[in-house]
Amino acid sequence: MALKERVQDLLAQVNDMKAANAEELEALRIKYLSKKGEITTLFTEFRTVPNEEKRELGQLLNQLRQQAEGRINEMREQIVNSQELLAKSQLDLTRTPDPIDLGTRHPLSLVREEIVDIFSRIGFTVAEGPEVEDDKHVYGMLNFAPEHPARDMQDTFFIEKEIGIQKPTDVLLRSHTSSVQTRVMTSQKPPIRVLCPGRVYRNEAISARAHCFFHQVEGLYIDKNVSFADLKEALLYFAKEMFGPETQIRLRPSYFPFTEPSAEMDISCNICGGKGCAFCKGTGWVEILGCGMVDPNVLEACGIDSKVYSGYAFGMGVERIANLKYRVKDLRLFSENDVRFLRQFESC
């Protein structure tokens, strides 16, 4: 058969090409357009055609190749579209989604919410304030002397700010949520009964027992005739609700610039029941918070008449309570987002 007739015969075959799937289409492409395909073979034979016939045959060959490529591309698009339609038709919208790993509330969030819930039952409401504070609200109004060690760079993160007449050391990251209490006392009139949860920052070396940031919950109650007995009963109620009805507390004398008298509160070890173990170092007691009666100087600095009103304040570390509740030995686990650690609290 002459070359021209073979070209015309292949043109007819190309126009009639059909493929039901991608495999059949690939077989057609190999048959006609591969290096050893029929159309490629014709181009090889074209070299031996007399010069006077090359013009006409060359045009036919180019038309054949373009027709074959166009037809294959067209069928490929049809197959892809049909597969997409088939996939959509088989989509069951009533099926539940594929299982995915769901997150869980962080243990510190669980403990903070439990603390807030316990104190809300006896009338405390939540108050919040900025984490970037000024020296006045963090230290000045809380009876800290100008030379107090807490003001030193070794304890506090100061922020340089040279705008206007403000000194660079006037702005800092709050080292306790007591700054929220001073803001509440200067903006509200007694009676005041607030709980102040939040993140605080201190310039400490990070280890299993300390971190440069942690979380606190502080409480403040100011009214007429508030006594130390009121403070003790509120804290005893909290301890029993948080750690169980058998929990006992003890108050030891201590010192804080913003309370007088001041105390540290211990609870009977919830692991050994007060009998003594490695966790409580054989004493049967574990320290959990500091507390005291609000110093009259603090009340006066906040515009509250200390001769009419009195109050108590307390503060605890959320990580400390979480350690006791979940027996976590390394504080760093709370901030490293290790999924293996966090999954332990999925059922909480």
CATH of 107-345, one of 1.10.3720.10, 2.40.50.140, 3.30.450.40, 3.30.930.10: 3.30.930.10
- Provide the pLDDT for residue 114: 95
Give me the DSSP letters along 255-308.
EETTEEEEEEEEEE-TTTTTS--TTTTTSSEEEEEEEEEEPHHHHHHTT--TTT
When pLDDT is cut at 50, 70 and 90, the band that residue 169 belongs to is low
When pLDDT is cut at 50, 70 and 90, the band that residue 22 belongs to is confident
In the numeric block, which tokens belong to residue 45?
């034979």
CA distance linking residue 325 with residue 107, whole number of Å: 10
- Provide the pLDDT for residue 100: 64
Asked if the model's pLDDT at residue 160 lies above 80, the reply is no
Antiparallel, parallel or unpaired: β 158-159 and 171-173: antiparallel
Instruction: Answer with the residue of higher pLDDT: 8 or 139.
Output: 139
In the numeric block, which tokens belong to residue 151?
């003001």
Residue type, 54: K
When pLDDT is cut at 50, 70 and 90, the band that residue 201 belongs to is very high
For the stretch 88-112, pLDDT in tens is: 777 676 766 666 666 678 889 999 9
Q: Which residues partner with 262 through β-bridges?
A: 254, 292
- Provide the pLDDT for residue 66: 87
Report domain extents, the chain. Answer: 3-86, 107-345
For the stretch 29-39, pLDDT in tens is: 888 888 888 88
Asked if the model's pLDDT at residue 162 lies above 70, the reply is no
Asked if the model's pLDDT at residue 163 lies above 70, the reply is no
Residue type, 200: V
For the stretch 205-235, pLDDT in tens is: 888 777 888 999 999 999 999 999 999 999 9
- Provide the pLDDT for residue 298: 95
* Mean pLDDT computed over every residue of the chain: 86
**pTM here?**
0.67
Instruction: Answer with the residue of higher pLDDT: 110 or 164.
Output: 110
What value does the mean pLDDT take over residues 199-204? 90
For the stretch 61-78, pLDDT in tens is: 888 888 888 888 888 888
The DSSP call for residue 97 is P
Asked if the model's pLDDT at residue 129 lies above 80, the reply is yes
Burial 38-64 (b: 16+ CB within 10 A, else e): bbeebeeebeebeeeeeeebeebbeeb
What value does the mean pLDDT take over residues 10-14? 82
Instruction: Answer with the residue of higher pLDDT: 120 or 80.
Output: 120
